[in-house]
Each structure stands twice: as C-alpha cells, then as structure tokens.
Amino acid sequence: MRMYGLKSAALCLLALLLFAGAAFGAFVSPEVHSDRRVTFRLKAPKATSVGVSVQFSRGQQAMTKDSDGVWSVTLGPAEPEIYEYEFVVDGLSVTDPANPWMKFWQGTAKNLVEVPGEGAKFFAEQDVPHGAVHVHRYRSKSLGVTRGFYVYTPPGYETSKDKKYPVLYLLHGMGDTENCWTVIGRANLILDNLIAGDKARAMIIVMPYGHTPRVPADVRSIGRYGAFEKDLLEDVIPYIEKSYSVSADRKDRAIAGLSMGGGQSLTVGLGNLDSFGWVGAFSSAVPRGESLDRLLAEPELINEKLRLLWIGCGKNDFLFEANTVFIERLKKDKIHHVAHISEGGHEWRIWRRYLNEFAPLLFR
C-alpha cells in the first residue's frame, strides 16, 4: 500500500474532529436531482465558513448553515458527466465524509459525483455483459521492488477456450496510480459497452503503475522513462503472458496513456516497434529534443511496423502547443498518424472520450 503523506493523514484527522461524526448524519451528499442540479451537504456545526469547489461551477461556492449545523448549497444544472469536488472549511480543503467515491492525486483526495443524463452514457454501467477487474501485486526484478497493476478481462473470458486475446497496456498520468483508469476513467465499463455494441474487439487491458520512485532521479523524471520501460518489458508483459490467455504477437499488442502516460506510450511504443503495433497518446507529455529525434529517426520503419499512431489533445490543454508541434513534426517526416484535436483541457472527461474513440480502432 502506498502512503499519501503525513499531511493528508493530518487533514483527515482534523476533518474527523471538526465534523464530530458528520459521516453518520441523516442526510445525503451529494444529492443529484432529476433536473441535473446537485445539492452538497456537510455537517460542521463549529465552522464559521464552508464552501464547495466543483468542476461544473466556476470558483468556490458559499454554503449556508441550518439550525442542525448542516451546511448546504444546490448548484447546476450540470452537463451529464463525472465531476470532482471538495469542501473548504475555514480555509481548509477537506473531503466529503458522506461520499466514499474519491480520486487520489499527488497525495491529495477529491470526491467524485456523477450527473446522469437522458440515455446511458458511454462510460455508465449499462445493462450489458460485464467483464472483470483483477488486482495484482508482483515483484519487479528489474527495479527490485514490489509493484501493482490492474487487469480488465472482457465478458466471456473465463469460459473461452484456447482463445488468445489482444492486449492494450493503458497508462495513467503523473499524479495518478494504477487504479485511476477504473476508478475515474471507467475503462472497464467503456469496454463493456463497446464490446456489447460490437464496436470494439474483446480485449484485455493492463493498467500498470507508471512511477518508479525508488530508482535514481535521472531515470524517473518526466521524459526519462528507462526504468518504467524496463519494468514493463521485462516484468509486466512476461507476467501477463504467463498468467493470461493473450497473444504475444506485436499486431495484438497496443500501448496508450494520458499525460505522463502518453509520453511513456510514445517512448516505449515508438522505441520498441517489434513489441507494439498500436500506439495512442492522450494529452501527452511529448518527448523532446534528442529523445524525440531518436524515436522518429526511421520514419519508413515506423510506417511499416505501426498499424496506428493516434494523438489526441484538447485545444485548452496546457500541453496543446507541444502536441501541435509534435503533429507537425510527424507531417514533416511523413509518418502516418491520426491527429484528433478536440475541445476541452487536461481532464478526465476528455480522456474517457479518447479511450472510447481509440479502442474501436484497435486490432482490426
């Protein structure tokens, strides 16, 4: 288990003392109404000011206190989506004790709320056959540490005989961990829905831990993915091919990721053309300088080996300029690719959509 720091533990303790059992209050938070408005509630009778910051509402929104010491505010309506939020109590950011659905990022935690709309969203749990999510711990021989990864197996995997499945290695961003593509990315539900609609091939998804914190700094910083690459190629992939019924053919192996994971996907995928036939980069931290020059040194070989190089980025993303320069470089070098420029910024609602658009293109 990874520790998220003494600061987070102290904040949690302070919140518990401040709220004095608020988690067991007789109210719902957040409460999503049929008109897509959302009511947030928090019991903090001794607090002097409470507000909520939620992605669909600009800035911090003040809450009002009732006679029972419960603060509340109703916001929206919001577009159907999954949103992050947090309370601010007397200047201190805290999580909602009534809502266990949380996302962890760089030692902090934020709650999540889903606002449904008309019809089932592509990332919602629909009435279709569901796959399974498996959690693994393994000893990385290349790094000398114990690490983890998640594996999605599609519906029917357990009962299929002698079938070899293609594999997508799906990577998270800099502040995330290996569970984020299921907790907030909804990768398992997205694939369930795509497979049920005959829009994507049944595949296995492997979601490894992208950080290598116990190795020297020169191989763990952004843009230096040697240790991660070694662990993936020498530990994770052999583990998967020993434990699961998967194809070991390059044409049946894809790699994709978001932000840092997008940079890792480009580095590992383009740097190992005999191992991967499909590469996807979502809002990626594109390799630069000599690293990029090495990866793109043989355009004809890339075109021969890769069946798809897919680059997606939102126009409001802080990495948009870097991705634009990268796409222009691919054009100049005549490297086959798909450039998917969309609205939006550096956020999960964009990456879920990218996965929903990328996965149907794989293994065809």
Predicted confidence (pLDDT) at residue 6 exceeds the cutoff of 60 = no
pLDDT of residue 244: 97
Spatial contact of 101 and 112, defined as CB atoms under 8 Å apart: yes
Q: At residue 10, does pLDDT exceed 60?
A: no
Burial class (CB within 10 angstroms; exposed 0-12, middle 13-18, buried 19+) of 249: exposed
pLDDT at 7: 44
Q: Could you report how far apart the first and last alpha carbons of the chain are, in Å?
A: 38
Q: What is the pLDDT of residue 236?
A: 98
Q: By C-alpha distance, which of 157, 138, 133, 146 is closest to 236?
A: 138
Q: Write the pLDDT tens digit of every residue in 320-333.
A: 999 999 999 999 99
Tens-place pLDDT, residues 230-259: 999 999 999 999 999 999 999 999 999 999
Residue 11 has pLDDT above 90, yes or no: no
Location of each CATH 2.60.40.10 domain in the chain: 6-115
Amino acid at 78: A
Kindly report the CATH number that applies to the domain delimited by 6-115.
2.60.40.10
Say what the pLDDT of residue 26 is. 72
- For 23-48, the pLDDT digits (tens) are 445 789 999 999 999 999 999 999 99
Q: What are phi and psi of 109, to 5 degrees?
A: -135, 140
Q: Coil, strand, or helix at residue 173?
A: coil
Q: Which helix (H) or strand (E) holds 83?
A: strand 81-89
Q: Quick one: CATH architecture of 132-361? A: 3-Layer(aba) Sandwich (3.40)
Distances (CA, A) of 94 to 22, 65, 113: 13, 17, 15
pLDDT tier for residue 214 given thresholds of 50, 70 and 90: low
Q: Is the pLDDT of residue 17 over 90?
A: no
Q: For the chain, what's the residue count?
A: 364
Residue 138 bridge partners (DSSP):
147
Residue 224: its pLDDT value, please?
66
Q: Which regions of the chain carry the CATH code 3.40.50.1820?
A: 132-361
Residue 216: pLDDT band with limits 50, 70, 90: low
pLDDT band at 16 (very low <50, low <70, confident <90, very high): very low
Model pLDDT, residue 20: 42
Distances (CA, A) of 322 to 27, 287, 328, 358: 46, 9, 10, 21
Residues in CB range of 146: below 8 A, 6 or more apart = 137, 138, 139, 140
pLDDT at position 210 over 80: yes
In which element (H, E) is residue 110 found?
strand 108-115
**Single-letter code of the amino acid located at 314:** G
Reply yes or no on whether the pLDDT at 1 is more than 60. no
d(CA 270, CA 272): 6
